[in-house]
Amino acid sequence: MERRRLGGTDLELTTIGLGTWAFGGRWGGADDSESEAACHAALDAGVNWIDTADIYGQGRAERIVGRVVRERGGDVIVATKGGVAWDTSSGQLRIWREAGADYLRMALDRSLQALGLERVDLYQVHWPVRGVAAEETMGALVELKAAGKIGAIGVSNYDTAGLAAAAAAGPLDAFQVGYHLLRRDVEAAELPWCRDHGVGVLAYGPLAHGLLTGKMTAQTTFPPTDWRSASELFADDAFPDRVAVADELAAVARESGRVGGVAELAVAWVLRRPEVTSAIVGARHPGQVAEVVRMADRPLSADEDAAIAAVLARHPGASRHYGHGEPPDREDVEG
């Protein structure tokens, strides 16, 4: 599998990274043994890095990843994220954004304990937080890097102003952002900014959280335990139009002879951008791994790119900016 250097670091990442959001259970449940098996299968197939976060099951995903990494002797690039705080004292999960220095120090130590590691290759701030200066956030990360606990520093879900402030306050190596065929707004500003400043881009959600797998219909619904049940990407009036886009893209993939169908096409489309170091794709169980790995086999052709653009032009209402249950700022919770 092709590898690309992450920004100015010495990390060479495969163009597919294994995402572990589903390991935490927010996609309608998860099985830890299946999650571990998926990690092993991905690594056996050539994927060399795993992305996780402390909020994914409140340490559950990190514990799974840590067990796998230790079993394999540590020869795995590990990226995790901190910056979503949580509280369960009321019996329900309450979450909010937090990026203060003291919190990040605590969160990293908690992540290292969950992972069973002394150091992570990449540590990322999960969300920007109003009222927390970039100097405070980045200062803490620079300090943690100097202490040997972090290899590289990244941020996630920032806009260009936030990226610029972070880069001015310390060395910024990576930017993780939601990017897929139905969410292209980052092409206007964030991707060019990263190109101009030597920051590597990690694209999450390249399959539009399942929409670009070709497995959904206009009648698809999700159980309440699945975050997609409350997401406008899947619940607003344009959902049938998005399914139509996926169906038309599946035809493009068939005409191009892509065995992996629309999913393979969608990942190739994300990786066509030189700013993108790697696309993060999740797998719930080892049976999905072959599909995931195949997505990196073949670059997007000019004819495919043109065909995709024509499909998107026929469905302008299908493409908007969508979140995925973003946590509120701490002021919104505490104020």
Residues annotated catalytic, as ranges? 56
Query: Is-contact 173 9, C-beta < 8 A?
Result: yes
Cross-strand bridge partners of residue 226: 27
Query: 248: part of which helix (H) or strand (E)?
Result: helix 239-255
Q: What angle do CA 153, 158, 160 make, to 5 degrees?
A: 105
How many other C-beta atoms lie within 10 A of the C-beta of residue 36?
Answer: 18
What are the two backbone dihedrals, phi and then psi, of residue 295, each rounded to the nearest 5 degrees?
-65, -20
Give the separation between CA 219 and CA 212, rounded to whole angstroms.
15
Comparing CA positions, the residue from 70, 17, 11 lying closest to residue 270 is 17
Strand 174-178 to 150-156 pairing: parallel
Q: Which residues contact 293 (CB under 8 A, 6 or more apart)?
A: 1, 16, 42, 45, 46, 47
Which residues have CB under 8 Å from 287's CB, separation 6+? none
Tokens of 61: 């995903």
| Per-residue CA distances from 128 to 90, 124, 295 (Å) | 26, 11, 31
Phi, psi dihedrals of residue 20, rounded to the nearest 5°: -125, 15
Which alpha helices (DSSP H) does 45-189 contain, by range?
A: 60-71, 101-115, 134-146, 160-169
